Amino acid sequence: MSEPARAAVEAEAARLSSKGLSDLGYADAELERAARLIVRIKELKAQKNAVIPVHVYQRPEVIHGIADFVGDSYKLSKLCSETKAAAIVFCGVSFMAETAKILSPDKTVLLPAPEAGCSLSESITAADIRRVKARHPGAPVATYINTTAEAKAESDVIVTSANAGRILRKLYRDHRKVVFLPDKLMGQNLAMQLGKTPGKDIILWKGTCIVHDNFDSASVGLYRRMYPGVMILAHSECSPGLVSVVDFVGGTGDMMRFVESTDAPFYMLVTECGLGELARTRFPGKRFLPMCRLCPYMKAVTLERVLAVLEKPSAADAVEVDPGVQDRARKAIERMFEMAEEGGK
Ligand code: 13P
Ligand code: SF4
């Protein structure tokens, strides 16, 4: 592919700067380097009729440079199920790209960093779930979306951070006991929220997120003394100890909506660092305090790798799911769409 025109690169670099990347600390040379890649990616994307969904934890130049849509796991899965594009280039991690493939089996789904896993999805196998089901017959299995296609295929319903409470509450209408897998901390938070006892009426697994498992509540009091009025928000994958001392708990979409709809002197987003960077660009008038960690899986996607999969995808970049697994996993995901969107609490 030929070098992009100088004027196009300059216009793109100026656009990135106006989106807030200069305020995040990007130097002009970095913006220009990103802009050169973005111009080429956009040309190829149009040629190949591809769409680029981007998770909120991705790098700012990926979010602001090439995304067709940006969101949490729920929003991205929903939009991927509706897209008319021929190909999906997923800027996120493997379980997200697999979910897109399950929902759009006829499309080409490419993951620019095929090794981008997730500690939660790696914590449990389909065989593990079959063993749990055998020990708790009749209990519905609600599985977090951060799991493999094979794990989803063993599940009754998939949930995300945006709807886990709502879906579990509905399951308890007809069942005394529910299995929630694989995030132990999110499961403990749900148990607290719903008044359930882990091991008795909510059966949990031992998975944790390597990013959210590592925050603790010790510094929360100090932050509150140093920054009076600070609103502290935590992702629902954080520990119950932390969750019990913050002002708001939810998924990334909920956290962004909370920031948008409130007016605090300071905000602290206890989650992956990408969300704080996105919040700073979306709400330039608000002030954010740092308390974040990087997810190495999410950060494996770069503009260079997106360009490479569009130019010449390797076999490893194309996401494939066994057709039998795909059908069963799709039913569990579609059950989530129904339960999350139908009326009632
Ligand atoms: P969200 O669905 O809240 O964006 O969470 C995805 C994730 O991987 C959190 O660590
Ligand atoms: Fe998985 Fe945690 Fe990374 Fe999300 S932040 S992709 S849950 S390891």
Q: What is the CATH number of the domain that holds 241?
A: 3.40.50.10800
| Pocket flag, ligand 2, residue 300 (CB < 6 Å) | no
Same domain for 188 and 328? yes
Q: Nearest residue CA, atom 8 of ligand 1?
A: 146
Does the beta carbon of 119 lie inside 6 Å of ligand 2? yes
Indicate whether 113 and 125 sit together in one domain. no
Phi then psi for residue 235, to 5 deg, are: -70, 150
Residue 150 and residue 165 share a domain:
yes
In a domain, 181, yes or no: yes
Residue of 54, 72, 209 to mutate, ligand 2, most atoms within 8 A of C-beta: 209
Structure tokens at 23: 């305020």
C-alpha of residue 237 to centroid of ligand 2, in Å: 9
Q: Does residue 234 sit in the same domain as residue 336?
A: no
Rounded to an integer, the average pLDDT of 136-160 is: 98
Q: Are 224 and 246 contained in the same domain?
A: yes
User: What pLDDT score does 277 carry?
Assistant: 98
| Of 121, 212, 238, best ligand 2 pocket probe by most atoms within 8 Å of the beta carbon | 212
Task: For residues 329 and 190, state if they share a domain.
Answer: yes
Into how many domains does the chain fold? 3
- Please choose from 147, 272, 294 the residue to mutate so as to test ligand 2's pocket, defined by most ligand atoms within 8 A of CB: 272
| Nearest residue by C-alpha to atom 4 in ligand 1 | 72
Q: How distant is the alpha carbon of residue 241 from its chain centre?
A: 23
Of ligand 1's atoms, which has the minimum distance to the CA of residue 272? Answer: 10
85: Cβ–Cβ under 8 A, 6 or more apart, which residues?
Answer: 49, 50, 51, 107
> Can you tell me the distance from the alpha carbon of 96 to that of 234, in angstroms, rounded to the nearest whole number?
22
Q: Which ligand is nearest to the CA of 209?
A: 2
Question: Which pLDDT belongs to residue 290?
Answer: 86
CB 197 within 8 A of CB 222: no
Question: Which atom number of ligand 2 is nearest to the Cα of residue 119?
Answer: 8
CA of 138 to the centre of ligand 2 (A): 30
Q: 31 and 113: one domain?
A: yes
Domain assignment of residue 132, yes or no: yes
Would 1 be classed as within a structural domain?
Answer: no
Flag whether 224 is in a domain: yes
Span 291-333, pLDDT tens digits: 899 999 999 999 999 999 999 999 999 999 999 999 999 999 9
Mutational pocket test of ligand 2: of 56, 73, 146, 270, the residue with most ligand atoms within 8 Å of the beta carbon:
146
CA distance 276 to 79: 23
Whether residues 200 and 276 share a domain: the answer is no
CB 93 within 8 A of CB 311: no
Q: How far is the centre of ligand 1, averaged over its atoms, from the C-alpha of 215 (Å)?
A: 16
Q: 195 and 264 share a domain?
A: no
- Which ligand gives the minimal distance to the CA of 272? 2
Both tokens of 119, joined, read 């500690």
Query: The domain containing residue 240 runs over which residues?
Result: 220-293
Tell me if 43 is assigned to some domain: yes
Question: Of the bound ligands, which one is closest to the alpha carbon of residue 295?
Answer: 2
pTM above 0.95, yes or no: yes
| pLDDT of amino acid 120 | 98
343 pLDDT higher than 80: no
Note whether 281 and 308 are same-domain residues. Answer: no
**Alpha-carbon distance values, 279 to 17, 269, 270 (Å):** 15, 9, 12
256 and 181 in one domain? Answer: no
Tell me which ligand sits closest to the C-alpha of residue 71: 1
Percent with pLDDT over 70 in the chain: 99
Asked whether the predicted pLDDT for residue 342 surpasses 90, the reply is no
- pLDDT, residue 345, reads 55
Q: Is residue 215 part of a domain?
A: no
Residue 214 belongs to a domain = no
For residue 46, being part of any structural domain is answered with: yes
Q: Does residue 288 sit in the same domain as residue 147?
A: no
pLDDT confidence tier of residue 2, bands split at 50, 70 and 90 = confident
